[in-house]
Amino acid sequence: MTENIENADVVVETPKPATAGEMLRNARTTGRRKREIPTIAKQLCIREEFLEALENGQYDMIPEPVYILGFARNYAMELGLNPDEVVAKIKHEMGLVSDCVSDDDEDVSACAMPSIKEESWGKIAFGKAYQFVYQNWIWFVGGIVAIALIVFAIVMLSPAKTEEVSAPEQVVVSVDDMVKEPEYKLPVRERFGTDNRATANIILQANKKTGEAGTWVEIKDARGRTELSRVLMPGDVYYVPVKGTYKATFGNAGGIDIWVDGKLAPQVGQEYKKISGVELTPERLMKTNK
């Protein structure tokens, strides 16, 4: 009798699902191809400490969420994992998506963001602001009265102008009117390398194939000095300098549109394929891919 009772009290714990970092580390350290972080960091042009932070779940070591998701997607593809699954896990771990699950596909969008957390933060901020104003209302009223008196004194004491000299009309010409740009496939989200905007004959734009994580782009000159190293989101534009020779590395070659003298150049590579050493010259870029 005693043995049966003791056995009945045994609780079998189900194993916890692996985190995104554990998935990345296991893919890197197990199997036939065991790889080191420094080697992968050089291939992806991502810092070693950022890859270590992804494996350890220390997302606060990476500057922005967009960098976290972009690095994770490229890292997962390099290790042969499903990038969408890894990115989804990281979003869940960072609290960027809620835990709600809907059987109806049409209602999935309702579970996309943690609106409850945002609402609670808004209530807390509003409550603190209201409490501060309530406790210090006399200072607010005094400040408003003082400002009103100062404005009144300035108006009353300032001498009347005998003649009003009209200022000459200034014609403002915007940069958009001066520089003719190509007909981009997407509306421009943000511009980089704007110092070269007036003279650039080669322009890069991230397209829809980059997805919400964007694509990593690195531009170096002939001496190996870095001109650009960042994740471009869909619609982002970069103006390549005219002087000098530059080579590019694309984390997702199919996610970049290249415009040469206002014309769309052929794709330099396939979607989700990393490509390095792309020579950014009109002759090289306008060659037809066969």
pLDDT tens column, 67-79: 889 999 998 998 8
Nearest to 243 by CA among 201, 194, 192, 180: 201
Please give the domain boundaries of the chain with CATH numbers for all domains: 17-94 (1.10.260.40), 100-134 (no CATH), 178-285 (2.60.40)
Residue 195, pLDDT above cutoff 60: yes
Helix (H), strand (E) at residue 150: helix 137-157
Nearest to 81 by CA among 110, 61, 54, 121: 54
Contact 240, 198 (CB under 8 A): no
- Average pLDDT estimate for 19-40: 88
Say how far apart CA 171 and CA 125 lie, in whole Å: 44
What is the pLDDT, as a whole number, of residue 86? 92
Q: What is the pLDDT of residues 138-180, one digit of tens each?
A: 777 778 888 988 998 888 887 655 445 555 566 554 555 455 7
What is the pLDDT, as a whole number, of residue 174? 53
Residue 181, pLDDT above cutoff 60: yes
Cβ neighbour number for residue 248 with a 10 Å cutoff: 25
Identify the residue with better confidence: 103 or 18.
18
Kindly report the pTM of this predicted structure: 0.42
Task: Tell me what the pLDDT averaged over the chain comes to.
Answer: 79
- Average pLDDT estimate for 13-34: 84
Contact 94, 60 (CB under 8 A): no
> Rounded to the nearest 5°, which phi and psi values hold at 283?
-65, -45
Helix (H), strand (E) at residue 238: strand 237-239
